[in-house]
Amino acid sequence: MAGLLSISLTGLNAAQAALNTTSHNISNASVTGYTRQQVVQGTADPKFTGVGFFGQGTEISTVKRVYSQFLTAQVLAADTSQVQYETYYNQIKQVDNLLSDTTAGLSPALEEFFRGVQQVAADPSSIPSRQSMLSSSEALATRFQSMQSRFQEIRDGVETQISQSVSDINALAKKIADLNLKIVSAQSAGPNVPANDLLDQRDSIVADLNKQIKATTTTNSDGTINVFIGSGQPLVMGQDVYSLSTAASTTDPTRLSVGVELAGGGVVTIPENLLSGGTLGGLLSYRSDSLDTAQNALGRIAVGLVTEFNAQHALGQDLDGELGGNYFTALTPAMQNLPNLTTGAASTASVSASISDVSGLTTDDYVLSYDGTNYALTRTSDSVSVYSGTTLPAGVDGMTFTGTMSAGDRILVQPTRYAARDIQVAIQDTRLIAAASPVTVSKSTTNSGTGTISQPTVNSLTGILSSASAHLASDITLTFNSTTNQFTVTGALPATIAYDPSSNAAGSSVTLTNPDLTFSISGRPANGDTFTISTNVGGTKDGTNANALYALQSAKDLIGGTATFGYAYSQMVSDVGTKTSSAKINSEAQQGLLDQATAAQQSVSGVNLDEEAANLLRYQQIYQAASKCIGVANTLFQDILNIMG
């Protein structure tokens, strides 16, 4: 009877354990991260008798998680990518909304500005037209500044979120290390007693960590795990945590870099391109790939407009007969000394930069360095050197540098980053708008031919005097000689200009030097016909330079001489729009992959209530049958007692 009773008890206990486990599964069916558990049951070792081996019932080996490491890894990979794309999209959407706004964007203000210039060109002496031009100029500057302010708000928000993400990562790493300790303690009884619920908790925290940053794990023999990020930087090693920290970047103090704290002290900066996945990866990639580029692209338009407009305005003449100065406050690349690579102290470099060619400007930032022999100009976006030589860069990416540096000195160079913030109208007096040309052309009243000379274009201030009464040292005269088919020039070079009325009558372009003027000769001048280029005295109704200023609207001065100011902005809007659309598509596609991976993982590890209900009935029947066996054993035992009594 003892054998029957003990065998029945093993069945009863096994059924009880299975019922408890099934009940546990049902209770946690809605708990995120819970893995279905299962009783592992086997046959007990048989007992030998003289007539053979008799079974001794059943035994429970362990309670295991129905867990697939492969499927779980797929879920984690899809999840960290989806969060990165979603974060990127949520951030870049702000820039897209800013740029594409038909009322708050740059395009309306830019068009209104050039409309004001056009009005002055049409009526140069009109004070109301000049005031309208100044007002539209102020409005344009304000629009640049407001957009820059919004960019800065977005940037500040990104830096705050980066700091918060790093804090969240550290908190999750601490929880993983704490659970490692608990799991080691719980599983100390033996290898076949896994702490299933603690393992689920740890896996859930690893999943949360992957939402912040892509992480990989390895399992140790004691059941603890190690967590790595980036290119293998340790975050958790068993029960030890290597916290992340943020600090001002060594190449740009205005932005945060992420580093890992070492056990012996100190911090190792992790390159941004190695920190992928999750919220942090999305923020870092958005900042470098889109935010920096868009903000610098806006600044490039501001620099291009200011530089070209100032240059042309300086070639004109205002209502008082003075040469035009800067219409806008001049913009120069932002420069910031970085720590010296040799001494670690702040660099003592004294270097200035100027814009030498707006068409060469890019949307990059740079670091200018000097090793004691060679200077190097390196892009911060990809660490590619765009210049290396024994002299400071000149004409590189539209910039020219002058000054002195010591060995180890480094300078952060941001040609366009703050241009939209710093743009300002330099003049307030409407009379100072240089709408006229400083020179004018006339022909002698005794000319008998049909020859004409166009209004000269002033190419530079070479040979142009600043005196309001005389912008030329002397009048320039051109006298035609029909015998030699050439003009004799006095007051400028060249001394003679070849001109054949039979072949050049449709027009021939001429450029003089000292002063630097270009004009066109056309028609059929007669022998002795004379033309005079002189100071434009009292030219208040002349809009020659205003027309040249207005022509800048259609001039392809940016992006290697391929884009106008308006087109550069449209391209900027288009680029951001394309990136926004791509980020949205990637986020949605990755969400689909995540849903598929999660469904596959849950089909194995998730709790199926229908299946658990069936298990309840099955284990209940086993329990009842085992109880019946115990009842039979008890009846037989009582019968024996009755016989013996």
Q: Give the per-residue pLDDT at 85.
A: 97
Q: Give the per-residue pLDDT at 155.
A: 97
- Rounded to the nearest integer, the mean pLDDT of the chain is 93
One-character DSSP codes across 54-90 = E---EEEEEEEE---HHHHHHHHHHHHHHHHHHHHHH
Mean pLDDT over 390-418 rounds to 97
SS3 264: coil
Residues 6+ apart with CB under 8 A from 50: none
Tokens standing for residue 569: 């902005």
Q: Give the per-residue pLDDT at 162.
A: 98
Q: Is residue 168 part of a domain?
A: yes
Whether residue 138 is found in the same domain as residue 278: yes
Tokens standing for residue 217: 């794990």
Where do runs of H (alpha helix) occur along 123-217?
A: 127-186, 196-212
For residue 265, pLDDT over 90 is answered with: no
Number of CB atoms found within 10 A of residue 465's CB: 15
Distances in Å between the alpha carbon of 454 and those of 10, 315, 436, 509, 521? 113, 17, 15, 10, 7
pLDDT digits (tens, 9 = 90+) for 367-386: 999 999 999 999 998 999 99
CB 208 within 8 A of CB 172: yes
pLDDT digits (tens, 9 = 90+) for 32-43: 999 998 988 888
CB 27 within 8 A of CB 19: no
Q: Give the per-residue pLDDT at 633.
A: 73
For residue 587, pLDDT over 70 is answered with: yes
Whether residue 263 is found in the same domain as residue 220: yes
The phi, psi pair for 523, rounded to 5°, reads 85, -170
Whether residue 211 is found in the same domain as residue 229: yes
Whether residue 26 is found in the same domain as residue 60: yes
Q: Give the per-residue pLDDT at 619.
A: 80
The phi, psi pair for 300, rounded to 5°, reads -65, -40
Q: Is residue 272 part of a domain?
A: yes
Q: How far is CA 556 from the centre of its chain?
A: 26
Tokens standing for residue 516: 């630097």
For the sheet with 375-379, list strands across it.
334-338, 410-414, 366-370, 375-379, 385-389
What is the Cα–Cα distance from 163 to 166, expressed in whole angstroms? Answer: 5
What is the Cα–Cα distance from 295 to 286, expressed in whole angstroms? Answer: 12
Pairing of strands 439-443, 530-535: antiparallel
For residue 624, pLDDT over 70 is answered with: yes
Question: What single-letter DSSP state applies at residue 347?
Answer: P
Q: Is residue 268 part of a domain?
A: yes
Mean pLDDT over 291-309 rounds to 98
Most confident of 53-62, 484-493, 636-645: 484-493
What is the Cα–Cα distance from 405 to 409, expressed in whole angstroms? Answer: 6
Q: Is residue 316 part of a domain?
A: no
CB 364 within 8 A of CB 296: yes
Q: Name the pTM for this structure.
A: 0.90
For residue 107, pLDDT over 70 is answered with: yes
Q: Give the per-residue pLDDT at 128.
A: 97
Q: Is residue 423 part of a domain?
A: no
Number of domains the chain contains: 3
pLDDT digits (tens, 9 = 90+) for 310-350: 999 999 999 999 999 999 999 999 999 999 988 888 888 99
| Residue that is last in its domain, among 495, 515, 535 | 535
CB 619 within 8 A of CB 19: yes
Instruction: Quickly count helices (H) and strands (E) in the chain.
Output: 12, 28
Q: Give the per-residue pLDDT at 49.
A: 76
pLDDT digits (tens, 9 = 90+) for 182-207: 999 988 877 778 899 999 999 999 99
What is the Cα–Cα distance from 272 to 260, expressed in whole angstroms? Answer: 13
Give the CB-side neighbour count of residue 159, counting CA atoms within 13 A: 17
The phi, psi pair for 94, rounded to 5°, reads -65, -45
Closest CA to 144 of 572, 558, 548: 572
pLDDT digits (tens, 9 = 90+) for 458-483: 999 999 888 877 899 899 999 999 99
Q: Is residue 400 part of a domain?
A: no
Mean pLDDT over 257-275 rounds to 89
CB 445 within 8 A of CB 458: no
Q: 215-239 burial, b if ≥16 CB within 10 A, otherwise e? A: bbbeeeeebbbbbbbbeebbbbbbe
Domain enclosing residue 450, as ranges: 439-535
For residue 121, pLDDT over 90 is answered with: yes
Question: What single-letter DSSP state applies at residue 556?
Answer: -
Whether residue 29 is found in the same domain as residue 176: no
Facing residues of 367 across strands? 378, 412
Better-scored residue on pLDDT, 88 or 514: 88
For residue 18, pLDDT over 90 is answered with: no
User: What angle is formed at CA 75 by the lines to CA 69 and CA 78, rounded to 5 degrees?
Assistant: 140
Whether residue 57 is found in the same domain as residue 130: no
pLDDT digits (tens, 9 = 90+) for 527-559: 999 999 999 988 889 999 999 999 999 999 999
Question: What single-letter DSSP state applies at residue 194?
Answer: -
Whether residue 58 is found in the same domain as residue 78: no
Q: Give the per-residue pLDDT at 637.
A: 66
For residue 217, pLDDT over 60 is answered with: yes
Q: Give the per-residue pLDDT at 102.
A: 82
Q: Give the per-residue pLDDT at 494.
A: 93
Whether residue 590 is found in the same domain as residue 618: no
Whether residue 53 is found in the same domain as residue 89: no
One-character DSSP codes across 491-514 = SSBSSEEE--HHHHTT-EEEEEBT
Q: Is residue 18 part of a domain?
A: yes
Pairing of strands 37-43, 58-65: antiparallel
Whether residue 227 is found in the same domain as residue 133: yes
Whether residue 8 is found in the same domain as residue 128: no
CB 131 within 8 A of CB 139: no
Mean pLDDT over 291-313 rounds to 98
Q: How far is CA 194 from the centre of its chain?
A: 45
Q: Is residue 294 part of a domain?
A: no
Whether residue 30 is found in the same domain as residue 58: yes
